[in-house]
Structure 1
Amino acid sequence: MKLTPLNGNSQQLDGGAMFGNAPRALWSRYLTPDALNRIPLACRCLLVETAGRRILLETGIGAFFAPELRERYGVVEAGHVLLDELAALGLSDADIDVVVISHLHFDHAGGLLAAWDGGPARLLFPNANYVVGREAWQRALNPHPRDRASFIPDMLTLLQASGRVLEVDGKVPDCLPANWRFHFSDGHTPGMLLTEIPTAEGPLVFAADLIPGAPWVHVPITMGYDRYPELLIDEKQALLEGLLAREGGLFFTHDPHLASAKVVRDGKGRFGVEKWNCPGLG
C-alpha cells in the first residue's frame, strides 16, 4: 500500500470562524493571521494505491468557483491543483477507481468538478465510484438554511446522474479494502464519514472536519462552522482516546503545515501530536 498526500487547492479563511470559541490571543499562536484576519488553510487529499486500485480520499476545494466567488471564499490558486498533482505522478482523474468524500461541503468535494471556464459545471473522475455516508448525502440534498451555502447544487445533480454514488451507513463497500473501517461524526455536519486505514505503524484516520489540523486536536477547540460543538467535542475525545490506545494517527485536511501525525497525550492529560514514521506521511 502506498500513501501520497496531495494538495487540492488552498484557502485563506477568517481565523475567528475557524477557531470558533477560542479568542484570537490564543489561536493566533497556532496560525498567524494576515491583515484581513485570515489564516492559511490547506485542502489536502490522500491518494491510496493498494491491490491494483487507486483510491482518493477527498478532492479539496478545487477551482470550480467563478473568479468573484473564488476571491470571496479565499481560494488561493486559479487552477485545479489536484489535477496538476495527479499529473506529476503520471495520473489523471480518469485513473482513479474510488473517491471517498467525508461530507459534501465545497471545500472537501469541490475538486470533483472541472475548473471554472464560464460554461456548465462538469464532473471529473469518470471511472470512479463516489463513496459518501448516507446521512451526509441526504444532508447535502436537503440542507439546513445554516449550511445551505456550503453545498454545490450543480455538483449534486451531476453526481446523481452519474449513477456511481455509493451511500454507506457503516459497512465498507466492496470497492474499498475489506480491512478498512468507517467512523461517523455528527458534530460538524450530520453523517460525516471518517475513513480508517490500517498501516504497519498503526491505524490512520482521515479526520476531515472533526479535527481539521493539529491545533484542533486540543479537545475544547471547535470551529464556528460546526453544527453541534458540544457533540463534536465528545466525538473528538472518543476518537483520540481510541487512537491513543492503538498507537494511531490522524490525517489532516486543513493543516497548512502538517499532513499527518501520531496522537499522544502529555502529563496533564492533554492530547497532542508528534511526528510518526508512516511511509509517505511522516
Structure 2
Amino acid sequence: METLQIGRAKLTWLNGGVNFLDGGAMFGVVPKALWSKKYPYNDKNQIELRTDPILLQLDGKNYLIDSGIGKGKLTDKQLRNFGVLEESSIDNSLQELGLTVNDIDVMLMTHLHFDHACGLTKKAGDSYEPVFPNAKIYVSDIEWNEMQNPNIRSINTYWEMNWKPVQNQVESFQEELQVAEGLRMIHTGGHSDGHSILVFEDGDETFIHMADIMPTHAHQNKLWALAYDDYPVTSVHQKEKWMDYGYGKKAWYTFYHDAYYRAIRVDESGNRIDEVERERYEYK
C-alpha cells in the first residue's frame, strides 16, 4: 500500500476495487486524440479506474475518504456494465495496518455515487448493515438530501441500500466543515450538486483532494470535465479555483480513481514536481 506524509497527516491508499469505464465518458467533449495521450485505454476504449479509499491518520484519529465500490452488492449485470474486475477488500487492507473497520472514526464522503458509497454498507441476511459502525459520516446537506430523494437521472447511482442503514451516523453540513485543525471539507457542486472536496493545510504543507472534479492526473486541464458531471460548468469553475489555490502553495493533489498515480505535487505553474506512483499488478 502506498503512503504519503503531508505535515501531520499520513495518507494510505486502501484496496477499494477497480472498474473499467468508457474513456469518452470520463473525458466528456475532449477528443480522444487529446485525452488518449494522457491516460491509457484498452481495445474497448475503456480506461482503468480505481475506487480506493484513502486512510487519513491525523492527530490520533482515523478518517477514511470515501468507501470503495463495496463487495457482494452488485448484480452480475452491474458488474459487467460497470466493468468491475475487482471488488473492495478494505478489511484486508486495514488488517495489514493493524486496524479493523471498527477503528474508523470518521467517513469523509465527497459524494454518494455508488462507486464511492457502496462500501458504506454490507449484506446482512436479507438486509444491509453499516460497514463502519463507529464512524461519523460527513457529507454535504445537498448530497445527503439528493441521496434520499434522487431525481430521474441520479436514481441510477443513489441507492437506498447505501444510505438507509447508516442514516443515524450521518452528519451533514452546508458550505464548509472544519473537520479538524487544518482539515476542511468544502462543498463545490459540479460532478454532483452536493459534491465536496477536502483541503488540508499544515504550515507549508498542503494537499487537496478534488474527488471527481479532478478524478485522475489526466484531468488536470481545467476545461476537461466528465460526461458524468451533472453541472460541468460548475466543475470547470471549481477546478480552476482550487487549481489556482493549490498551485500557489505547491500542493499535493490526491486521487481516488487514478490507476497510475496516487498523488502528484505541482509548482506555481502547475508543472509536476513530485509524485506517488501506484504499484501495478495483474488482475486475476
Of 187, 203, 207, which aligns to 1:204? 207
Q: Deviations over 1:211-232 (max 9, x none)?
A: 1011111111111001121221
TM-score normalized by the length of structure 2: 0.87
> Kindly tell me: are residues 233 and 272 of structure 1, through their superposed partners in 2, closer, same or farther at Cα, counting changes over 3 Å?
farther
* C-alpha distance in structure 2 between counterparts of 1:141 and 1:72, whole Å: 24
Aligned to 2:157: 150
Secondary structure of the structure 2 residue equivalent to 1:183 = strand
User: What displacement does 1:189 show?
Assistant: 0.7
Aligned to 2:144: 137
Secondary structure of the structure 1 residue equivalent to 2:119 = helix
Percent identity of the aligned residues? 28
Of 22, 28, 38, which aligns to 1:14? 22
- Does the 8 A contact of 1:185 with 1:210 survive in 2? no
Of 169, 175, 193, which aligns to 2:174? 169
* C-alpha distance in structure 1 between counterparts of 2:148 and 2:124, whole Å: 25
1:27-46 → structure 2 map (5 Å cutoff) = 27-46=35-54
* C-alpha distance in structure 2 between counterparts of 1:207 and 1:45, whole Å: 13
User: What displacement does 1:276 show?
Assistant: 5.2
User: What displacement does 1:265 show?
Assistant: 5.4
User: What displacement does 1:40 show?
Assistant: 0.3
Deviates more, 1:89-98 or 1:27-36: 27-36
> Kindly tell me: are residues 272 and 110 of structure 1, through their superposed partners in 2, closer, same or farther at Cα, counting changes over 3 Å?
farther
RMSD between superposed Cα atoms in Å: 2.0
1:89-108 → structure 2 map (5 Å cutoff) = 89-108=97-116
Aligned to 1:112: 120
Q: Does the alignment pair 1:61 with 2:61?
A: no
Secondary structure of the structure 2 residue equivalent to 1:91 = coil
Query: Please, which runs of 5 or more residues in structure 2 have no aligned partner?
Result: 1-8, 277-284
User: What displacement does 1:179 show?
Assistant: 2.4
Aligned to 2:217: 214
- Does the 8 A contact of 2:142 with 2:194 survive in 1? yes
* C-alpha distance in structure 2 between counterparts of 1:180 and 1:216, whole Å: 24
* C-alpha distance in structure 2 between counterparts of 1:124 and 1:274, whole Å: 37
Aligned residue pairs total: 267
> Kindly tell me: are residues 209 and 171 of structure 1, through their superposed partners in 2, closer, same or farther at Cα, counting changes over 3 Å?
closer
- Does the 8 A contact of 2:249 with 2:268 survive in 1? no
- Does the 8 A contact of 1:214 with 1:272 survive in 2? no
Query: Please, which runs of 5 or more residues in structure 1 have no aligned partner?
Result: 278-282
Q: Deviations over 1:185-206 (max 9, x none)?
A: 1111112121112246522111
* C-alpha distance in structure 1 between counterparts of 2:83 and 2:204, whole Å: 36
* C-alpha distance in structure 2 between counterparts of 1:92 and 1:75, whole Å: 25
- Does the 8 A contact of 1:94 with 1:125 survive in 2? yes
* C-alpha distance in structure 1 between counterparts of 2:108 and 2:138, whole Å: 5
* C-alpha distance in structure 2 between counterparts of 1:273 and 1:109, whole Å: 30
Secondary structure of the structure 1 residue equivalent to 2:84 = coil
> Kindly tell me: are residues 118 and 27 of structure 1, through their superposed partners in 2, closer, same or farther at Cα, counting changes over 3 Å?
farther
User: What displacement does 1:117 show?
Assistant: 8.3
Secondary structure of the structure 2 residue equivalent to 1:2 = strand
User: What displacement does 1:170 show?
Assistant: 3.7
Q: Does the alignment pair 1:48 with 2:56?
A: yes
Aligned to 1:280: none
Aligned to 1:238: 241
User: What displacement does 1:76 show?
Assistant: 1.3
- Does the 8 A contact of 2:121 with 2:165 survive in 1? no
